[in-house]
């Protein structure tokens, strides 16, 4: 077992600097680990306490009787070298160093010191300058972010702690489930590449998302080579921050990493098969599609809508995002015709008209799912008073579940408050739903790009193996 695997499956966690005072970071992390339901051994370490939050406290990590796999270190930076040395003596596998005050403020010497000590003992360091990590399959929330982390299949690696914390809340609101969340801060030791490799092996992760500010100098080639292997197993979606001149300066003072030229990163991502997102919304839109839907088998896409305008927007978006819209055969056109009023449009986009009710949608979906011409489906709905979006969402989810539909599908529901409820319902039912046609089609576009990328690097049966590994039939 690789040492890093202990991060995901620790038998025991120690919190060094577990505080007795509510409101302190060391208290919050210990409380989150307890309340999120970690099942292994838990050891608070604090020389001034005998018990914290109902757990026996130890004066030092070496005083703990059992083995310790992960030590979360939450003490002021100047005291960390001593604690890392103790971690080494204790045989700790991974030290998760929350403390700030290292290379991000020019204190590179202290950072190098803890890495050197850790290397001497074979301890690996996550951080420093991080908010911790979460791994939901094992009920681990070792962060000082919100307690609740929605469970799912998206892993998020972030160089920004604050952004990670904010996203924890956002993912819950939007019904986006995470397998793991890893704050990497200064990346003094464990970096984005190693974590991605770890997650490529993780059966609970279907897509890896990354907020990246920069890499360590001189690591570009290695990044491309190693990430190229990861992307042949799982999609990786990256948002790269610090693309403007001022943004680059901000990166230097945030995590101390090198933002570098945007064009270089763009080329590196392309070469490594990494999907680039330009905004946080896009990052998770794409991730959601990969987490919930299988990689497309083919490219031919059909749009089913109750609004002509939404259909036109989706058509434009398809053109702009390289999503080929199917030219349906006459036979297929005739079949679609039977699902709509006489004034509907059976071509692609299939316009069921504003008069459409649940029955029209389900009939049209049935035609699309059964047709060998159709590979992918985009379902659009504009709010009308004759069709409650929540009813439609329920019917679609039921149809997909009962028929075990494996054609890649994205949905856009456009409208008011009820639409938002319907979108959340669909997301919970593993069908990615968005508030605009453009977002839905753009997410599908990235899936098709990834499919093409895999096909350019792998044999046909290997692509199918990746597809099945991510979404078993
Ligand atoms: N071993 C074990 N326990 C110790 C040790 C030690 N060597 N030294 C101190 N402690 C105990 C203290 O007694 C205290 O417990 P108490 O509150 O019960 O008395 C506890 O550990 C914490 O020590 P403090 O000295 O009170 O430190 P404080 O909690 O104020 O700060 C911290 C520690 C949080 C690590 C701080 O130095 C720090 O780095 N803060 C920034 C963290 C951060 O923001 N990280 C990046 C996140 S990403 C983002 O952007 C959000």
- CA dist 37 → 7, 105, 140, 150 (Å): 16, 35, 7, 13
Provide mean pLDDT across the span 140-160: 94
What global pTM score does this model have?
0.94
Question: Which residues lie with the beta carbon below 6 Å from any ligand 1 atom?
Answer: 16-17, 19-21, 24-26, 45-49, 74-77, 79, 83, 98-101, 129-131, 161-162, 165
Residue nearest to atom 15 of ligand 1 (CA): 19
Q: Is the pLDDT of residue 361 over 60?
A: yes
Name 327's Cβ contacts closer than 8 Å, sequence gap at least 6.
348
Return the pLDDT at 155. 96
Report the Cα–Cα distance between both ends of the chain, in Å, rounded.
Answer: 29
Token pair 């083995």 is found at 67
Q: Rounded to the nearest whole angstrom, what is the distance from the C-alpha of residue 137 to the centroid of ligand 1?
A: 28
- Is 3.40.50.261 the CATH number for 5-289? yes
466: tokens are 């990746």
* Strands 94-97 and 70-73, sheet pairing: parallel
Q: Are 14 and 56 in contact (CB under 8 A)?
A: no
Q: Which of 84-88, 221-225, 264-268, 431-435 has the lowest mean pLDDT?
A: 264-268
CA 73 / ligand 1 centre spacing (Å): 8
Res 353: pLDDT? 97
**Local confidence band at 254 (pLDDT 50, 70, 90 cut-offs):** low
Q: How many CA atoms lie within 13 A of 423 on its CB side?
A: 27
Task: Find all residues with CB under 8 Å of 209, minimum gap 6, and list them.
Answer: 154, 155, 156, 157, 236, 237, 238, 239, 283, 284, 287
Nearest-CA residue for ligand 1 atom 39 is 99
Q: Which of 153, 202, 197, 231 is nearest to 466 (CA)?
A: 231
Domain ranges of the chain: 5-289, 294-467
Give the integer Cα–Cα distance in Å for 457 and 100.
42
Distance CA 467, CA 126 (A): 31
Tens of pLDDT along 313-326? 999 999 999 999 99
Same fold, 5-289 and 294-467: yes
Report whether pLDDT(248) > 70: no
Tell me the pLDDT tens digit for each residue of 229-245: 999 999 999 999 876 66
Confidence of residue 217 (pLDDT cuts 50, 70, 90): confident
Q: Specify the higher pLDDT residue, 299 or 171.
A: 299
Q: Over the chain, what is the mean pLDDT?
A: 94
Mean pLDDT of the region 2-20? 96
At 247, the pLDDT band (50, 70, 90 cuts) reads low
The average pLDDT across 9-32 equals 98
Residue nearest to atom 4 of ligand 1 (CA): 17
Q: Where would I find the beta strands (DSSP E) of 136-288?
A: 140-143, 151-158, 178-183, 207-212, 236-240, 275-277
Q: Which residues have a Cβ under 8 Å from the Cβ of 420 and sit 6 or more positions away?
A: 435
Q: Which CATH superfamily is domain 294-467 in?
A: Succinyl-CoA synthetase domains (3.40.50.261)
- pLDDT score of 144: 95
Residue 218 has pLDDT above 90, yes or no: no
| pLDDT surpasses 60 at 133 | yes
| Atom 41 in ligand 1: residue holding the nearest Cα | 100
| pLDDT tens digits, one per residue of 366-394 | 999 999 999 999 999 999 999 999 999 99
């Amino acid at each position: 077992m690789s040492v890093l695997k202990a991060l995901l499956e620790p038998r025991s966690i120690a919190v060094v600097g577990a505080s007795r005072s509510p409101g302190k970071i060391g208290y919050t992390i210990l409380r989150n680990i307890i309340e999120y339901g970690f099942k292994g051994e838990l050891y608070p370490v604090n020389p001034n306490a005998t018990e914290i939050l109902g757990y026996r406290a130890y004066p030092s990590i070496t005083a703990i009787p059992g083995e310790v796999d992960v030590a979360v270190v939450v003490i002021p930076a100047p005291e960390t070298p001593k604690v890392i040395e103790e971690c080494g003596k204790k045989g700790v596998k991974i030290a998760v160093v929350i403390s700030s005050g290292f290379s991000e403020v020019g204190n590179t010497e202290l950072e190098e010191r803890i890495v050197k000590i850790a290397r001497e003992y074979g301890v690996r360091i996550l951080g420093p300058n991080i908010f911790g990590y979460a791994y939901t399959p094992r009920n681990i929330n070792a962060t000082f972010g919100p307690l609740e982390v929605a469970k799912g299949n998206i892993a998020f690696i972030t160089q920004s702690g604050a952004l990670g914390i904010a996203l924890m809340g956002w993912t819950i609101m939007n019904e986006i489930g995470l397998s793991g969340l890893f704050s990497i801060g200064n990346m003094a030791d464990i970096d984005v590449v190693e974590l991605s490799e770890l997650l490529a092996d993780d059966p609970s992760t279907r897509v890896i998302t990354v907020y990246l500010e920069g890499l360590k100098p001189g690591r570009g080639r290695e990044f491309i080579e190693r990430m190229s292997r990861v992307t042949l197993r799982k999609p990786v979606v990256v948002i790269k921050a610090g693309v403007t001149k001022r943004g680059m300066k901000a990166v230097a003072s945030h995590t101390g990493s090198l933002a570098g030229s945007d064009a270089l990163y763009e080329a590196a991502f392309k070469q490594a098969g990494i999907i680039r997102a330009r905004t946080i919304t896009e990052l998770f839109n794409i991730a959601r599609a990969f987490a919930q839907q299988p990689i497309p088998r083919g490219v031919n896409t059909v749009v089913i809508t109750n609004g002509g305008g939404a259909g036109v927007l989706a058509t434009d978006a398809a053109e702009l995002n390289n999503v080929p819209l199917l030219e349906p055969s006459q036979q297929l056109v005739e079949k679609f015709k039977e699902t709509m009023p006489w004034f509907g449009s059976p071509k692609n986009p299939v316009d069921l008209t504003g008069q459409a009710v649940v029955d029209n949608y389900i009939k049209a979906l049935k035609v699309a799912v059964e047709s060998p011409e159709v590979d992918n489906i985009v379902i659009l709905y504009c709010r009308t008073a004759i069709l409650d979006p929540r009813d439609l969402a329920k019917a679609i989810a039921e149809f997909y579940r009962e028929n075990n539909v494996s054609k890649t599908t994205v949905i856009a529901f456009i409208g008011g408050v009820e639409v938002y409820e319907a979108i959340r319902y669909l997301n919970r039912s593993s069908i990615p739903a968005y508030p605009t046609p453009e977002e839905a089609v753009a997410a599908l576009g990235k899936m098709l790009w990834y499919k093409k990328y895999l096909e350019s690097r792998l044999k046909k049966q290997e692509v199918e193996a990746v597809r099945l590994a991510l979404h078993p039939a």
